[in-house]
Amino acid sequence: MTDDPRGVGFRERTRLAAARDRLLDAIAPIERTEAVHAGEADGRALATDLSAPRPVPHYPRAAMDGFAVKAEDTFGASDRSPVRLDRADTAGPNAATRVHTGSELPEGADAVVMVEQVNSDDVTVEVYEAVANGENVAPIGEDVNEGQQLFEPGHQFRPSDLALLKALGVGSVEVVERPLVSVVPTGEELVQSDPAPGEVVETNGQTVTQYVRRWGGKPTYRDVVTDDEDALRAAIERDLDHDLVVTTGGSSVGERDLLPAVVDEMGEVFVHGVALKPGHPVAFGVVEGTPILLLPGYPVATIVNAVQLLRPALKRLAHLPMSDPPTTEARLDRKIASEVGTRSFVRVRLDDVDDGETTATPTRASGAGVLSSVALADGWVVVPESVEGYDAGDTVAVENWEWSP
């Protein structure tokens, strides 16, 4: 980017998929790691191989409520001809010992007769069904063997994984550190509260900060920076020790949209203008090895670009897998239009009707500054670049962009 595009519009708009690929190519996954308590590792990426330090179970245990026996002592048992065993506290020949699910199997016993298959008193146990060696018994290592590889580097921990680690006695795990992300809201009109005429309450930086935290990053929410080249340059230089710098506002081509030129002067801007709606005035580049993502100033445009570009950038930095958002099939109750060559994100509200069908009602087809159109929506319909829109009555997939595994 060598010419100043301000005042002349965007020379071209990069397709969203190509822009995302270019951004991810500029991002190197971080290599810093830290040890955390296993119970606090939910959602984090494992940094090393992880093997089981001990088996689960670590003793042979009863898999059913019943009586522990030596299997051969039950052979021939039936409803007509039950086998009578001595009820005892310890296992032995012709003996049956009461056990419960999870109990350690007494030494000398090798099977468990379910309680439903016996008739017992304080002295005798009548067995009505024979059992085989090992029947109704969980042997050592049935769940996990000692030394068994559990997870590879990059695995994203889930609650069930952490339950297994606790069962194995794993106290801490080595995980990839959370990416450090600086969030810098810009704009001379922004205030944090009580706006006077001509002032606007700052929400974009707060929104991005909360998304960064939700998507696995460690955000630093900076004070508002005014539309001044020196101030913007200083704000970027201050945070080049972060893994990613994200700005909001000042990314378009107006007189006060200074950031693309500032970043290009300090480093290089790779993309300025993406073919998506709302939010085409997005840009990104690199300064001294640090990726800089310039999000638009309109709230809806900020959110769209955060989901489409910031989220995958954070996942790549943190070694976390990308996943598609869940979708709901719904019938459009009115037409939505889109420009061919542009990917549109149309906010909709979902409603269930009497016949069990779900309908999608656009909350707003345009208006990148109308924050309520996302706050009051249940998802958005993505209209691809090759489609002019969808007609009323069409079945569409509504993406829940707020989902964040």
Q: Where are the domains of the chain?
A: 16-32+177-317, 33-56+142-176, 61-138, 327-399
pLDDT at position 98 is: 96
pLDDT at position 10 is: 67
Fold of 327-399: Beta-clip (2.40.340)
pLDDT at position 191 is: 86
**Average pLDDT, integer, range 360-378:** 71
CB 79: neighbour CB atoms within 10 A? 8
Distance, in Å, from the CA atom of 348 to the CA atom of 328, rounded to the nearest integer, reads 11
CB 356: neighbour CB atoms within 10 A? 6
Residue type, 172: S
Query: How would residue 195 be classed by pLDDT, with cut points 50, 70 and 90?
Result: confident
User: Quick one: which of 297, 14, 39, 306 has its CA closest to 162?
Assistant: 39
pLDDT at position 1 is: 45
Half-sphere exposure of 142 (CA within 13 A, CB side): 13
Coil vs helix vs strand at 230 = helix
Q: Is 197 exposed, middle or buried (0-12, 13-18, 19+ CB in 10 A)?
A: exposed
The residues pairing with 106 across neighbouring beta strands, listed in sequence order, are none
Structure tokens at 136: 């109704």
pLDDT at position 370 is: 60
Flag whether pLDDT at 256 surpasses 90: no
- Which residues neighbour 346 within 8 Å (Cβ) at sequence distance 6 or greater? 336, 338, 362, 365, 380, 381, 383
Flag whether pLDDT at 356 surpasses 80: no
Query: How would residue 6 be classed by pLDDT, with cut points 50, 70 and 90?
Result: very low
**Which CATH class, in words, describes the domain spanning 61-138?**
mainly beta
pLDDT tens per residue across span 16-50: 999 999 999 999 999 999 999 999 999 999 999 99
Structure tokens at 166: 């606790």
Distance, in Å, from the CA atom of 320 to the CA atom of 300, rounded to the nearest integer, reads 26
Q: Is 25 exposed, middle or buried (0-12, 13-18, 19+ CB in 10 A)?
A: exposed
Chain-centre distance of CA 359, in angstroms?
A: 27
Flag whether pLDDT at 369 surpasses 80: no
Asked if the domains at 16-32+177-317 and 61-138 fall in one CATH topology, the answer is no
CATH code for the part of the protein at 33-56+142-176 = 3.90.105.10
Flag whether pLDDT at 2 surpasses 50: no
Backbone angles phi, psi at 309, to 5 degrees: -120, -50
pLDDT tens per residue across span 150-162: 999 999 999 999 9
Do residues 317 and 23 touch, judged by C-beta distance below 8 A? Answer: no
Do residues 198 and 205 touch, judged by C-beta distance below 8 A? Answer: no
CB 299: neighbour CB atoms within 10 A? 22
Coil vs helix vs strand at 286 = strand
What is the average pLDDT score of the chain? 92
| Domain 16-32+177-317 is found in CATH 3.40.980.10 | yes
pLDDT tens per residue across span 287-301: 999 999 999 999 999
pLDDT at position 3 is: 44
